Structure 1
Amino acid sequence: VKAYWVSLGLGTAQTALAYGADDLDGTVREEKIHHEAGSTTPQCVSADELRHLIRETGRVPAERDTLYRLVRREGAAWETC
């Protein structure tokens, strides 16, 4: 179950993780559609903040590719913005 933080907001997406969602989605470079429609959620969130939000729910953050395979980045941080 995805929690799309761009439309839900960070707090609601984090709550969704705590209640069973297993994918914090919305790691886009720049989101325009929701914001042109009036959304007030952030357009970009750093990888550090996403990891922090995930860890606060007791989950372990992991980057996945489009086929949901685990992506490992040795010595390099993954970034969203």
Structure 2
Amino acid sequence: LAISRLMLDNIDHIKAFWVMLGIPVAQIALNFGADDLDGTIVEERIMHAAGASAGRGISKQDIIKLIKDAGYIPTERDTLYNVINTF
């Protein structure tokens, strides 16, 4: 992830999808170049049908906490990465 951030500097944002990575690895990914922790899923089904073992859903407050726990400032954004709210 860190190497891709350096080598692919023309890509503005790298997303860490916690459902695929698990929450601890998604937090670590923030330290290695990811700048987007994807999102507040109410009930994820596709990855679990394929055998994923991460949680099925996470609340907005839980996402905010895990970003803060990783040492970053949580920011809500829209599809075009415009800031909506900072927590």
Identity of matched residues, %: 48
Within a 5 Å distance, the mapping from 1:21-36 to structure 2 comes to 21-36=34-49
1:16 maps to 2:29: yes
CA RMSD of the aligned region, Å? 1.8
**Structure 2: distance between partners of 1:57 and 1:32:** 26
For 1:41, the equivalent position in structure 2 comes to 54
Gapped regions of structure 2 (runs ≥ 5): 1-13
* TM-score in terms of structure 2 length: 0.76
Task: Say which structure is richer in strand.
Answer: 2
Structure 1 segments, 4+ long, off by >4 Å, are none
Alignment: residue pair count: 74
Which of the residues 71, 74, 78 maps onto 2:84? 71
* TM-score in terms of structure 1 length: 0.81
SS of alignment partner, residue 63 of structure 1: strand
Residue identity matched to 1:58: G
Task: Say which structure is richer in helix.
Answer: 2
Please list the CA deviations of residues 40-76 of structure 1 after superposition, one character each: whole Å capped at 9, or x if unmatched.
Answer: 1111111111111101121100110111111139xxx
Contact 2:16 2:37 in 1 (8 A): yes
For 1:51, the equivalent position in structure 2 comes to 64
Relative contact order (alpha carbons < 8 A, sep ≥ 6): 1 or 2 greater? 1
SS of alignment partner, residue 41 of structure 1: coil
